[in-house]
Structure 1
Amino acid sequence: MALRNVVKRGDAILTKHCREVTEINDRIITLLDDMAETMREDMGVGIAAPQVGVARRVCIIEPEEGRLVEFINPEILESEGEQLSTEGCLSVPGMIGDVVRPQRLVVKYLDRYGNEKTEEFTDFEAVVVSHETDHLDGVLFVDKATNVREAGEEPQEDMTEVEN
């Protein structure tokens, strides 16, 4: 495993629609391992391949210690409800914003062994999955957020609704 540099906002790769993974090989396995190490080093709860300079449909989440989920070619099958989350991003350091995310998601994906899985995510996990899968479509949280501010600043009283 190796630490990778996290690509920052302004880099064109963060605005690209990522390509599907057609073969799970040693490069994809190494990418997953490196992403996990990089995410943990930077105290993140998720990271997507474009954030480490790879335009592939791969992302991981670790919403709590010991619960690592690796997604290859994730596809959101169901999305319901709404919740407002305050988010940050390793690619937009020092900034946070308020984003309306689904309360519940059902996602189909491949694991590192090529097994197809379908899993439900709710609450905070749904937020993290939604945030990371957005990266695979070239969307940053600041593209959807209201009240974008420096981390540590108090939110403004007059928050506006986010349009879906």
Structure 2
Amino acid sequence: MSIRKILDFKHPALRTKAKKVARVDGSAVRLLDDLVETMYAAPGAGLAANQIGVALRAIVVKGDENQHHALINPELVKAEGSQIGYEGCLSYPGWVGEVERAEQVVVKGLNRKGKPVRIKASGFTARAFQHEIDHLDGILFTDRLTGLETLRPAEEYETELEAVKA
């Protein structure tokens, strides 16, 4: 496992649709391991393979209780409800913006052993799955902003959150 460099939003690899992984072998498992290690080191809530310059359909998403999901060839098979919230991106460091996403999703893909899995997620985890699958399709969160005026420095947003909590 190794920590990989995360490409920033200007890199053309982030606008390219990733290719399906033909089979889950040692190199695919190493890719998942590198994604996990890189995501936790960043730290982030998810990471797609093209964010580290690998044009293959592989993602990791941090779930509840510090678990993570690592998927090859993930697909969104069901999306219900709506949530609007701020999200950021490891490829767009220091910025957040308001994005509308489905509240609940079902995602299918292959696990690190090549076995089919289906994952039901809601709330923040559902948001993270949608965000990472978008990356695999060449879509950035800034493409889905509810309005350009919602894009702002993360520090400013975090300050406002702290003020509300006080």
Shift of 1:50: 0.4
d(CA) in 1 for partners of 2:60 and 2:69? 6
1:3 maps onto 2:3 in alignment: yes
User: Do the aligned residues in 1 keep the contact of 2:95 with 2:154 (CA within 8 Å)?
Assistant: yes
d(CA) in 2 for partners of 1:57 and 1:140? 15
1:42-80 Cα distance to aligned partner (Å, 9 max, x none): 110100000010011100011344311011111111111
1:69 maps onto 2:72 in alignment: no
TM-score by length of 1: 0.91
Counterpart residue number, 1:118: 118
Alignment gaps of 5+ in structure 1: 156-164
- Comparing 96-105 with 118-127, which one deviates more in the overlay? 118-127
d(CA) in 2 for partners of 1:48 and 1:20? 13
Match of 2:154 among 133, 151, 154: 151
Flag the 1:40–1:154 CA change in 2: closer, same or farther, 3 A: closer
Shift of 1:153: 2.0
Aligned residue runs from structure 1 range 24-103, under 5 A: 24-103=24-103
User: Do the aligned residues in 2 keep the contact of 1:84 with 1:98 (CA within 8 Å)?
Assistant: yes
User: Do the aligned residues in 2 keep the contact of 1:36 with 1:60 (CA within 8 Å)?
Assistant: yes
User: Do the aligned residues in 1 keep the contact of 2:64 with 2:125 (CA within 8 Å)?
Assistant: no
Secondary structure (helix, strand or coil) at the match of 1:93 reads coil
Counterpart residue number, 2:140: 140
Aligned residues: 155
Shift of 1:27: 1.1
CA RMSD of aligned residues (A): 1.3
d(CA) in 1 for partners of 2:144 and 2:66? 29
- Comparing 57-66 with 34-43, which one deviates more in the overlay? 57-66
d(CA) in 2 for partners of 1:74 and 1:98? 24
More helix by share: 2
TM-score by length of 2: 0.90
